[in-house]
Chain A
Amino acid sequence: MKPIPLVCLFLLALTCTKALAHETPIALLTISERQTGLFNVEWTYSSSTNQFPPTVVFPAHCEFDYPRLQCGEKNLYGTLALQQLGERYSAAVVQIDRIDQQPQTYTLTGANPDIALNPNGNLPITRIMASYLPLGFEHIMLGVDHLLFVLGLMWLVGNRWMLFKTITAFTVAHSMTLGAVTLGWLGVPEKPVNAAIALSIAIVAVEVLKFKRGEPCVSARMPWAIAFGFGLLHGFGFAGALTGIGLPEANLPAALLFFNVGVELGQLSFVLIVLALLWSHRSLQSHFPRWMETTAIYAVGSIGCFWFLTRLDMLLSPI
């Protein structure tokens, strides 16, 4: 290895303090009916920044003294709102378990912090879109591991048509596994998936290095194949985030669709920004020195290896 990449790796190792899978901080508010009009309220939340859950504002006719909620004859119908939601959590899931009814689940976000509760429990499609599309976009934007993998794929690709095929293959593959897991057809534990996603970044970085050195590699000839194969894996990762959010059973297909559309929009934005940067350098005849490109590939591979090892450690170490 050349000295400059080695120095960069060293600096990288000094600055890498965490290798946890990126989180979408979610809080769960469970409201269970004990008697008609009398509910028990419970928060379940976890966030790496130890944020308190949002403040709940119940309909005006309800009296709330945590954990007891008394709504009387009018029952829990009307507007329920969560204050400071976007500042503290990506989303909050409100699960209402009424006597003699199927449990109802609603996902509230910073942009949609309130919900009108009515006896039929149905949600308009615009409401589902407004909740799940930003969540998908946010998940990919905070998911540096997915973005680094896409960046690696772009490095492997020689022309625009191949780039289109590769990104499409990645999209189709992760949509398949995301759908299959969310609909309950497949189930994969989250920790091994996260470790394998990290390893996929390192593998792509090795392939890019081989490609740049002119060594024969299958992935450079058929980058769409590697994109499809590892795309299936990344879909499991997306599904982990989506199932963590909690899905309304009645609106499951729409929620899945809009979450996936959000992911694709985020991915497309990233690809377009990278392409715009490449175009700007090309049109100004600004070329990176070769060592800089090699260093960047080594850096991506090193981050992938580092995440893989730490996630493997989390997988193997007893809790």
Chain B
Amino acid sequence: MKRWLLLFCLLTPQWAHAHLVSTRFGEYYAGLLHPVITLSHLIPWLALALVAGLQNTASARTALPLFPLAVLAGAALGSTLPAQQWIAVINLISFLVLGGLVLAARPLPPRFFIALVMATGLSHGYANGMPELFGQGLVLYLAGVTCAAYLLVSILTAASHQLITQRSWGIIAVRAGGSWIAAIGFLYLAFTLFVTGAAGS
């Protein structure tokens, strides 16, 4: 399974430029689907939700409004400023950091957790920016990306929190997931840096 996931990741190396998913469905759905079908965003967002689920309830629920707002701010910046390759590297590193935190399964200091949520939201939001769009199209696209962030993180955080607090095996499953995410991130980062050399160009 892990090998298939890895192969899939290697075959879909989306970089800092986001791509319109479906122009016929309109920009809102393009924004909504973009992070959902891009593994380089979906997996770290899943990892962030697992990290949030590991916190206490009060801390976990701060991610619900903060993450979508950070993604919105990042996507707005990414749509107006030029694409940056280093953002893509940071996003790859977020695989390792978030995967490692899930693996460690430790509650974080609330301020550190908030900073982590904001940083992840801003960098992944930036990579979801769409410089080709402007005006109403851009507003709809940003609304779609923000809704995707809200839906994914809300539902996954609640699911992981329930799993950890109400099932004895929950924490083991979550930690195993964290190790997979970190491993995928490590291989993906190594492939990107040393095989494609894209980050250095």
A interface list, Cβ under 8 A from B = 15, 17, 25, 86-90, 110, 138, 141-142, 273, 276-277, 279-281, 283-286
CB distance from A14 to the nearest CB of B (A): 11
CB distance from A245 to the nearest CB of B (A): 15
B interface list, Cβ under 8 A from A = 23-26, 29, 57, 60-61, 64, 136, 139, 151, 154-155, 157-159, 161-162
A284 and B158 contact, CB distance less than 8 A: yes
Q: How far is the CA of A38 from the CA of B23 in the complex (A)?
A: 37
B25 and A15 contact, CB distance less than 8 A: no
B57 and A86 contact, CB distance less than 8 A: no
CB distance from A65 to the nearest CB of B (A): 29
Asked if A87 meets B155 with Cβ closer than 8 Å, knowing A286-B61, A286-B64, the reply is no
Name the residue on B nearest A283 (C-beta): B158
Name the residue on B nearest A25 (C-beta): B24
CB distance from A293 to the nearest CB of B (A): 15
Residues of B within 8 A of A88 (CB): 24
Residues of A within 8 A of B61 (CB): 284-286
Residues of B within 8 A of A141 (CB): 25, 29
Residues of A within 8 A of B60 (CB): 284
24 A-B pairs (CB sep. < 8 Å): A17-B136, A25-B24, A86-B24, A87-B23, A89-B24, A110-B24, A142-B25, A273-B151, A276-B155, A277-B151, A277-B154, A277-B155, A280-B64, A280-B155, A280-B157, A280-B159, A281-B154, A281-B158, A283-B158, A283-B161, A284-B57, A284-B161, A285-B61, A286-B61
Residues of B within 8 A of A284 (CB): 57, 60-61, 64, 157-158, 161
Residues of B within 8 A of A273 (CB): 151
CB distance from A107 to the nearest CB of B (A): 16
* Further pairs besides A273-B151, A284-B60: 14, Cβ < 8 Å: A17-B136, A86-B24, A87-B23, A87-B24, A89-B24, A90-B24, A276-B155, A279-B158, A280-B154, A281-B158, A283-B161, A283-B162, A284-B158, A284-B161
Dominant SS at the B interface?
A: helix
Name the residue on A nearest B60 (C-beta): A284
B159 and A142 contact, CB distance less than 8 A: no
Residues of A within 8 A of B64 (CB): 280-281, 284, 286
Q: How far is the CA of A15 from the CA of B154 in the complex (A)?
A: 27
CB distance from A177 to the nearest CB of B (A): 26
Q: How far is the CA of A90 from the CA of B29 in the complex (A)?
A: 15
Residues of A within 8 A of B23 (CB): 87
Q: How far is the CA of A317 from the CA of B157 in the complex (A)?
A: 51
B139 and A15 contact, CB distance less than 8 A: yes
CB distance from A121 to the nearest CB of B (A): 29
Q: Nearest 4 CB-CB pairs, A to B?
A: A280-B158, A286-B61, A284-B61, A280-B154
Q: How far is the CA of A138 from the CA of B24 in the complex (A)?
A: 10
CB distance from B8 to the nearest CB of A (A): 22
CB distance from B40 to the nearest CB of A (A): 24
Q: How far is the CA of A175 from the CA of B126 in the complex (A)?
A: 44
